[in-house]
Amino acid sequence: MPTLTVQNLPATVPVPAGSTLLAALQAAAHDWMHACGAKGRCTTCRLIVVSGADALTPLTAAELRYQAAGRLQANERLTCQARLPEGTVTGRVPEATKLPHVQYTK
């Protein structure tokens, strides 16, 4: 099964077929900021992609809109939008979207 590793959570979770990265993280009981409720209307669920970006599904309309507005960097994806059909992705939680009650590593 495809897997997502988040270096500073730290965690490695399976990403079921058709699941968003956010849904996979939540299914594995990891808290992850998602202020708009996974509707593609904020950028708080973003992930800094360290490797494996090519394995992710193409940018959605919401992600393209935020990229154009400068609110989503080229190396970032919205976890509520991106899916991982196969392969592995490694990323990091951005400093700005860390949750206060979660202990992150470096």
Query: What residue ranges bind ligand FES (CB under 6 A)?
Result: 34-36, 38-45, 78, 80
In 3D space, the residue among 27, 10, 31 whose CA is nearest the CA of residue 18 turns out to be 27
Rounded Cα distance, 23 and 95, in Å: 21
Of 74 and 105, CB closest to ligand FES? 74
Of 35 and 102, CB closest to ligand FES? 35
Residue 55 tokens, joined:
């394995």
Of 40 and 94, CB closest to ligand FES? 40
- Report the nearest approach of ligand FES to the CB of residue 18 (Å): 17
- Report the nearest approach of ligand FES to the CB of residue 43 (Å): 6
- Report the nearest approach of ligand FES to the CB of residue 25 (Å): 12
3-state secondary structure of 49: strand
Residue 23 tokens, joined:
């849904």
Q: Tell me phi and psi for residue 5, to 5 degrees.
A: -110, 130
